[in-house]
Amino acid sequence: MRYPTSQRMQQLPKQFFAGLVAQVNARMQAGHDVINLGQGNPDQPTPSHIVEALREAALDPSTHRYPPFTGLPELKAAVAAFYAREYGVSLNPDTEVAVLFGGKTGLVELSEIYLNPGDVALVPSPGYPDYWSGIALAGGRMEKMPLLPDNAYLPDLSAIPASVRGAAKLMFLNYPNNPTGATATSTFFEDVVRFADQHGVLVIHDFAYGAIGFDGVKPPSFLQTPGAKAIGVEIYTMSKTFNMAGWRIAFLVGNEEVVRAVNQFQDHYYVSLFAAVQRAAIAALTGPQQCVTDLVRMYERRRDAFVGALREHGVVCPSPGGSFFVWMPVPQGFSATTFAEFLLTEANVAVAPGVGFGEHGEGYVRVGLLTTEDRLREAALRIAGAVRVHS
């Protein structure tokens, strides 16, 4: 018996990176020493005080039942305290904070909540592919905002056609940026607020890498911008700042109308998030933050080790201002895909082709700084050697 899937299922974008993972695994199974820099999976353990908070909460029988559907009030209070401490942003925990079942889930949900078939969403190109997934599920239409080096990988809002401005309902942004590693300025966010207010666009700022800024610069929250809460929301995941990847907990903050809609939508998808995980998140947000400081310093050392080794061996590569990614230009004669394949077969280094993040990612590969400094230097040496032999 054959059971055809719905049109929306058939419209979902293909998972570009599934093929990359298969290639890397096949190479490793063949006995090659592959340095895998192609994925965005944090390699450090969750800090011990967070794990201990989970353990204690899991042993508490009061957590062995459904918590409130919209999340523990004490978690939402912790989120508000975190934003006040880190960004000087005042949030009402009851009306301006929604608990999410992971940041990716929230990003997909928002398109389903706000887009009707044919509605327009503005997305960065290159950008996180799961923006596309939610838009496809909603039957919406994407309009790409190119992120180009000439504009510091910020979208040029003035270049968006008038017809698109008038039709757009959502705008997705992400700084520090995946995949380019670029950071946003306060001036840019001010321009975004003006644009959104003028054209009735809901701004969704994906702040997944919010803690990871380099060279003494703390990445700004979009909500620090005057007027931002009136036209937008920000999504913050625990996975990057606190190495809680796979714990599936994040939060959305900002516009209270959007918070209400998200809570209503999630009532139909989920019951509630395990209270022990929520208590661990409270420990992360309110506990000692030295672990975050140490993590950012580690990523900065890794960045300097990798980019520095490339430059020492004649490979020009810009240094990112944030995130844990390097956006590396492809040498002449290669496309993004052929260069990634070349590095895997000739250097046993796995990277992600830029076109996997949209057509404006052509000409680049994304390198994840998710292994030790020694392995990153080794990867840089392998890359430089392979490029030198080819040229």
The whole-chain average pLDDT of the chain stands at 96
Please report which confidence band the pLDDT of residue 29 belongs to, taking 50, 70 and 90 as the band edges: very high
Cβ proximity of 136 and 6 under 8 Å: no
Cβ proximity of 147 and 155 under 8 Å: yes
Using CA atoms, how far apart are residues 6 and 22, in angstroms rounded to an integer? 27
Rounded to an integer, the average pLDDT of 121-127 is 97
pLDDT of 345 over the 90 cut: yes
Please report which confidence band the pLDDT of residue 18 belongs to, taking 50, 70 and 90 as the band edges: confident
Q: Which residues pair with 144 in a beta bridge?
A: 123
Rounded to an integer, the average pLDDT of 163-167 is 95
Among residues of the chain, what percentage have pLDDT more than 90? 91
pLDDT of 22 over the 90 cut: no
Using CA atoms, how far apart are residues 101 and 84, in angstroms rounded to an integer? 23
Please report which confidence band the pLDDT of residue 390 belongs to, taking 50, 70 and 90 as the band edges: confident
pLDDT score at 16: 72
Which residue is it, tokens 């979009």?
222
pLDDT score at 228: 98
State which H helix or E strand residue 170 sits in.
Answer: strand 168-173
pLDDT score at 200: 97
Q: Are strands 202-206 and 97-100 parallel, antiparallel or unpaired?
A: unpaired
Please report which confidence band the pLDDT of residue 39 belongs to, taking 50, 70 and 90 as the band edges: confident
SS3 252: strand
Which residue is it, tokens 């003006």?
194
pLDDT digits (tens, 9 = 90+) for 55-94: 999 999 999 999 999 999 999 999 999 999 999 999 999 9
Domains of the chain, first to last: 7-46+291-390 (3.90.1150.10), 64-286 (3.40.640.10)
pLDDT digits (tens, 9 = 90+) for 239-265: 999 999 999 999 999 999 999 999 999
pLDDT score at 11: 85
Rounded to an integer, the average pLDDT of 346-365 is 96
pLDDT score at 329: 97
pLDDT digits (tens, 9 = 90+) for 262-282: 999 999 998 889 999 999 999
pLDDT of 367 over the 90 cut: yes
